[in-house]
Structure 1
Amino acid sequence: MMKNGVPLLRVLIVDDEPYIRKGLKALIDWEAEGYYIAGEASDGKNAIQLLKQNEYDLIITDIMMPDMDGMELIHYVNNHKLSTARFVLLSGFYDFQYAKTAIQCGCCDYILKPIQKDELLTTIRKIVEEFHRNAGIEKMTKAYEKAYLDRHLLAIIWGKYDCINLSYVQERILHTNGIAYIHCELSLNDERFVILSEDSRRAQQRKLYNYTTLLLKDYSNHIVFNIMKHTECYDIGIIYCSNMANETGLTQQEWLNRLVKELSERVGYEVIACMGNMVQSFRLLSESFREALMIRSFRFCKKNEGRTSRFCKRDSDVQVVQSASFKKQLDELLHVIEINDKVKIKVMAKNFYRSIMSKDFDPEAVNSNVQYLLYRLLGLGYNQDADIDQEEIMQYIRETVYTSNGENENEQKFQQFVLEYSDYLAQLRQNSDKGILDKIEDDIQQNYADNISLKSLSEKYYINSAYLGQIFKKKRGCTFKDYLNNVRVHKAAELLLYSDKKMYEIAIDVGYKNQEYFINKFEEVYGDTPTRFRRKNLHINKVT
């Protein structure tokens, strides 16, 4: 039972005289004091039966009772670790030795009969105060322990762990029969969520974490808050173990679907989840993590994607690799892409495309093979630079491959994509921007109000768009999109202070067609809406 959001303490009254039990219940307003009477027993033996079936926080028991008296009850409970409840002893006579023994046995107090209301109130108020104080300390201790566990888990998830991290996590996280990483986030495809302010989005992210903890109950240690650390990613991580699905009698996919459905309903916004492969130890968890992120990236390339996606293990999925000859053909194509052999790329890309589009492959198999190819291409990029932003690469793939009018890409389009991606890998190996970033930044400063994009700048400066996104992230510590927004917002702030233009005019002048989006971005940078910013800073001569 709850009162004002605070759980009431459960009381068990043990006395062989019914009128004493009845009188105790009526003597005070138990709920007003933070308690409720959860059970009654006529002697110690009956009390033990109740204690085996229910939990109590406070036991008020008479000392002198038939069969099993109060002192025997206390000894039994303590010796058998039956309950952690506090005791209050009732007695018709005062005996110092009894009181001393009672305190040593763990009783919090000793009350004489006939019971006085003031004495009872003093006793139970002291107990409830101590109980809440201890509960607060316990809650804080658990929070510190969870934060410490999360630090070790993050090191393992990111693949930057040592033996101390492994030992600590293995002792606290269930991992028998394998584990897998599940990336779970609030979807940026949900327009209701996108229009929220940054603070509101983060609040919903915290709500997602809390509801997941509530749903997974005994597996709350398996949940980590905010893994990605991206500006626009509102995620949690779940360390999945097979027991989670087994205990519900569901398959892995059914369990994941149900979890995401319940989370979406409770949070009120669309939730998506991407699951990596099962691995046999924490040493390999980072691989499952990377696979989950690759699946996350693929989602934005595929149309009508559902809320959950799982990584299909390529060695066992017949639709991904249908024959040894097909696998050989794919490996050869990947090799010439990696070494940037343009002549062989053209020939092998054409042959590979014709193979996957042949009548021998059903549409589902074609889709699986294309997704597997993208996974392998993304892996080539990761091998060149472990810090690459997969989202930038998939954005490039999305713009390059998935822009035709038909359902399938034509042979020439596919061939061109493979050639360009090979050039991108070559640029990654060179790992040099050759001063191009300075030129591009100057361009942005001059033309921030125009319809600027990574694609338009990459075409203008003859540089691969995915690679341009990577060097922006490395050199400036933010994505191209964030950099452009910061430039535009800063220019908007100057106009707010040094011009009489209306807010919607300023939004258009700096490149924003959507006024609400402009307000949200401005708030993220300056912590105020444009209107409040102008009002508060009219006396300032320059923008900081």
Structure 2
Amino acid sequence: QNSAEETSDDDKKAMLAKIYAIATEYLKEDSIFCIRDISDSEQVYDIGFIYSESMGRRLHFTMKEYLINFLKYLQNNTDYSITVLVGKTVTGIRNISKSYGTANMLHSLQGFREKKNIYFYEEEYKVSETGLIICKKQLDSLIAAIEQGEHIGIRKCVDEFYEEMQKTGITGSTMNLNINYLLFQLIHLASELDSEVNQEEILRIISETTSEEGISRGGKAHLCRMAYAYGEYLSQLRKNVSRGLLGDIEGEIKKNYASNLTLKDLSEKYYVNSAYLGQLFRRKYGCSFKDCLNKKRIEEAARLLRKTDMKIYEVAESVGYKDADYFVNKFIEAMGCTPTKYKKNY
């Protein structure tokens, strides 16, 4: 999510460690089935859990009851927002990877679903017996309009899509099937333009950020707004907006590190999608925008501690930290000692 990119990697790791500790506390002897950093990616912070029927049976719970109870325990013991993605039920250890793959599908497309704390693959991805995309003609027209970035054309195609659904009585699972087709096609288009970033994550973020209060997720207005935004994003990819952009962003950090600099503000200034900008930044520098900003602030703080008689809170404020305690913690993480000790050594 956009806000997630504004959180430093160190903070994400701390959150993950806390959630993992709470999860293993709940699971007790079953904690061996809880896997930290299951995605094995530096860009993703998640926890995996392999559920077995025997776990629920011991408590006389169904799988759904067990997982909902597990989620409630996590929510009651942490202030973090937690989402559980439950993959397809499989039999045999060899098929666990298939279940994990379906959970990843939920992660990619949850931005266009009604927001919930727990998603079950088998509820979200019910496929019709025929497996047909009922509104393929209308959706293909919509995809073409999104590619061309035509707002009027997009609105017309969305209207036609919903009219067709209403006419044929499409609801629920068949509606999801049609939306899945649309989203996967959009991911494919973006991947052809830039395959080195996580296009599934960017689509999810665009879907979530275009759903505001008063706009129903997956509804007509949401689909229009998402389509407009995605058309603009595809246009940015075609223009290769990343060329020279990161140098400008690096300059912004060096010049304005002490101000309230955010990825969202910079994306608006340079007319680029914030989720894409965050991934471009990470790809080049190997860390998040927030981590790079913190690094610059700590470097400047260290210089001030060496060269001036400023007090700790004054140094914190001058480099952009309003909370002196937070500054001290960040300084210790980066330098291995407190600002006071660092100053004494110099």
For the criterion TM > 0.5, the same-fold answer is: yes
Aligned to 2:111: 298
Question: Which is richer in strand?
Answer: 1
Contact (CA 8 Å) 2:278, 2:289: kept in 1 or not? yes
Contact (CA 8 Å) 2:139, 2:182: kept in 1 or not? no
Q: 1:467 aligns with which of 276, 280, 284?
A: 276
Aligned to 2:149: 342
- Measured in 2, the distance between the counterparts of 1:419 and 1:199 equals 34
Deviates more, 1:417-426 or 1:438-447: 417-426
- Measured in 2, the distance between the counterparts of 1:371 and 1:512 equals 43
Aligned to 1:211: 25
- Measured in 2, the distance between the counterparts of 1:462 and 1:390 equals 21
User: CA offset at residue 470 of structure 1?
Assistant: 1.9
RMSD between aligned residues: 4.7
User: CA offset at residue 392 of structure 1?
Assistant: 5.3
Deviations 1:239-267 (A, max 9, x none): 335555466554432221022234455x5
Aligned to 2:119: 309
Aligned to 1:449: 258
- Is residue 496 from structure 1 mapped to residue 305 from structure 2 by the alignment? yes
Which runs of 5 or more structure 1 residues have no equivalent in the other structure? 1-187
User: CA offset at residue 507 of structure 1?
Assistant: 3.0
Aligned to 1:487: 296
- Measured in 2, the distance between the counterparts of 1:455 and 1:202 equals 24
Classify the secondary structure of the residue corresponding to 2:98. Answer: helix
| Equivalent AA in structure 2 for residue 439 of structure 1 | D
Query: Which is higher, the Rg of structure 1 or of structure 2?
Result: 1
- Measured in 2, the distance between the counterparts of 1:503 and 1:362 equals 63
Question: Which is richer in helix?
Answer: 2
Deviations 1:360-411 (A, max 9, x none): 5999899969985885477435675265175555444444x134x6335997
- Is residue 227 from structure 1 mapped to residue 38 from structure 2 by the alignment? yes
TM-score, normalised via structure 2 length: 0.71
Deviations 1:112-165 (A, max 9, x none): xxxxxxxxxxxxxxxxxxxxxxxxxxxxxxxxxxxxxxxxxxxxxxxxxxxxxx
Q: 1:388 aligns with which of 198, 215, 220?
A: 198
Structure 1 residues 371, 483: closer, same or farther in 2, change over 3 A? farther
Q: For 1:389-538, what aligned pairs fall within 5 Å after superposition?
A: 393-399=203-209, 401-403=210-212, 406-408=214-216, 415=224, 417-425=226-234, 427-428=236-237, 433-528=242-337, 532-538=338-344
Contact (CA 8 Å) 2:257, 2:296: kept in 1 or not? yes
User: CA offset at residue 421 of structure 1?
Assistant: 1.4
| Equivalent AA in structure 2 for residue 458 of structure 1 | S
Aligned to 1:261: 72
Larger relative contact order (Cα-Cα within 8 Å, sequence gap ≥ 6): 2
Which runs of 5 or more structure 2 residues have no equivalent in the other structure? none
- Measured in 2, the distance between the counterparts of 1:263 and 1:371 equals 31
Contact (CA 8 Å) 1:209, 1:225: kept in 2 or not? no
Contact (CA 8 Å) 2:305, 2:342: kept in 1 or not? no
User: CA offset at residue 347 of structure 1?
Assistant: 1.8
Deviations 1:33-60 (A, max 9, x none): xxxxxxxxxxxxxxxxxxxxxxxxxxxx
Structure 1 residues 203, 231: closer, same or farther in 2, change over 3 A? same
Structure 1 residues 238, 204: closer, same or farther in 2, change over 3 A? same
Classify the secondary structure of the residue corresponding to 1:255. Answer: helix
Q: 1:237 aligns with which of 48, 72, 77?
A: 48
Classify the secondary structure of the residue corresponding to 1:500. Answer: coil
Structure 1 residues 277, 505: closer, same or farther in 2, change over 3 A? farther
Structure 1 residues 370, 497: closer, same or farther in 2, change over 3 A? farther
| Equivalent AA in structure 1 for residue 101 of structure 2 | E
Q: How many residue pairs end up in the alignment?
A: 330
- Measured in 2, the distance between the counterparts of 1:204 and 1:371 equals 35
Deviations 1:251-294 (A, max 9, x none): 432221022234455x5555542223345734534522422433
Structure 1 residues 470, 483: closer, same or farther in 2, change over 3 A? same
Deviations 1:482-515 (A, max 9, x none): 2222222322232233233333333332233344
